[in-house]
Amino acid sequence: MADLLTAYARALGVTVAGTDDGAPVLSLGFSHDLEGRPGAWHGGAIAGLLETAGYAALRSALAEAGRDPLLKPINVTVQYLSTGKPQASYARGRIVRLGRRNANLAVEAWQDDPAKPIASAVMNILMVESD
Amino acid sequence: MFSGTFDPAVLSDWVLKRAHPGWLGLRYRDHGDDWCELELPWRADLVGDERQPVLASGPIVSLMDMAAGMAIWVANGEFRPVATLDLRVDYLRPARECASVIGRVTCYRMTRSAAFVRGTAHDGDPGDAVAEVTGVFMTLDPKRMVWRG
């Protein structure tokens, strides 16, 4: 499942921890490289994990459909719900709508309990067939 | 370290060399009364799709998040920790191949506990933006800065 991850995601240290309801669950351990204010995750690093989970969910669904388009972000809106504590975080994307040219995704990130997300995101992604 | 006047010319080096901004290699460029401009240098391992040598969107969010935080510090003249509440990024077009991205964020409104920001990311021409950003941050009590379980 390594091809679900971009170079940026691998540089961050994101790994695929498993699947949930068909969607990849991503995991990212905490390190100083991901810290914002001391003792907390950087908002940008959390956004990076959320975006990566969104892309991974979409890549996974597209692969199942035999499609391999270029993915171009249209927008992302991130809600920060609570401070990311200095421990591993997880994220999972859900496809709200998959069309021919456009996909809408909802993503959640959590630490201890998937029912208590620390951040969520809504993403719109443009898909361009590369043939 | 987390109170008192914030002078980006003096403190940006320290703020940007450590932790996540340090890992990304963010650089200070310029600032005004209520804005700050940073640069995310091109790096091959930060691409979003190997078929295109273009910076991924994630590092651009980090760039804008950090520039926003620093814009808030210069706008209120004080180096108080902030937390992002909400951040929206619209990607107008991909960055040019192998290009650095420059982000300028303005703090246009500040209340006692919230700071409202907007900004633009470009790859050389400020009139031809790569992304537009709006966000809301919350200012934190420095005493509660470190998470204590």
Place of tokens 């990076």: A48
DSSP string, A32-86: GGGBSSTTSB-HHHHHHHHHHHHHHHHHHHHHHTT---EEEEEEEEEEE-S---S
The pLDDT confidence band at residue B147, using thresholds 50, 70 and 90, is very low
Q: What pLDDT is recorded for position B144? A: 60
- pLDDT of A1 > 80? The answer is no
DSSP secondary structure string for all residues of B35-88: EEEEEE---GGGEEETTEEEE-HHHHHHHHHHHHHHHHHHHHTB---EEEEEEE
Buried b (16+ CB within 10 A) or exposed e, A10-20: ebbebebeeee
Asked if A82 has any chain B CB less than 8 Å from its own CB, the reply is no
Pairing of strands A89-98, A15-20: unpaired
Residues B61 and A47 sit within 8 Å (Cβ to Cβ): yes
Give the whole-angstrom CA distance, residue A11 versus residue A22.
25
pLDDT for B87 equals 97
Q: What is the pTM of this model?
A: 0.92
Cβ contacts of A55 within 8 Å, gap of 6 or more: A4, A6, A9, A71, A93, A125, B48
A chain contacts of residue B44, beta-carbon cutoff 8 Å: 7
Give the tens place of pLDDT for each residue, A29-82.
Answer: 999 999 998 899 999 999 999 999 999 999 999 999 999 998 999 999 999 999
Chain B residues within 8 A of A124 when measuring between CB atoms? none
- Give pLDDT, residue A2: 47
User: Any bridge partners for residue A92, and if so which?
Assistant: A25, A108
The answer to which of B1-5, B11-15, B36-40, B74-78 has the lowest mean pLDDT is B1-5
Q: Which two tokens stand for residue A57?
A: 């969910």
User: Minimal Cα–Cα distance from A40 to chain B, Å?
Assistant: 7
Identify from B1, B57, B65 which residue to disrupt to test chain A contact, counting A C-beta atoms within 10 A and taking the largest count.
B57
* pLDDT exceeds cutoff 90 at B107: yes
- B32: closest CA of chain A, how far (Å): 23
Model pLDDT for residues B20-47, shown as the tens digit of each residue: 999 999 999 999 999 999 999 999 999 8
Residue B149 has a pLDDT of: 37
Residue type, B20: H
When mean pLDDT is compared across B37-51, B53-67, B98-112, B135-149, the lowest value belongs to B135-149
Residues in chain B with CB shorter than 8 Å from the CB of A40 are 83, 147
The CA distance from A86 to the nearest CA of chain B, in Å, is 8
Partner-chain residue, chosen from B18, B46, B88, that has the shortest CB–CB distance to A11: B46
Spatial separation of the C-alpha atoms in residues B36 and B63, rounded to whole Å: 11
Distance of alpha carbon A52 from the chain centroid:
3
Closest-CA distance, A92 to chain B, in angstroms, reads: 16
* Average pLDDT value for chain A: 94
- Name the residue facing A36 among B20, B45, B48 (closest C-beta): B20
Mean local confidence (pLDDT), A97-117: 97
Query: Any idea which of A49-63, A79-93, B11-25, B124-138 has the lowest mean pLDDT?
Result: B11-25
ipTM of predicted assembly, 2 dp: 0.92
Whether B4 has a pLDDT exceeding 70, the answer reads: no
Q: Nearest-CA neighbor of A88 among A19, A30, A32, A41?
A: A30
Q: Give the per-residue pLDDT at B51.
A: 81
Instruction: Enumerate the β-bridge partners of residue A105.
Output: A95, A123
pLDDT over 60 at B141, yes or no = yes
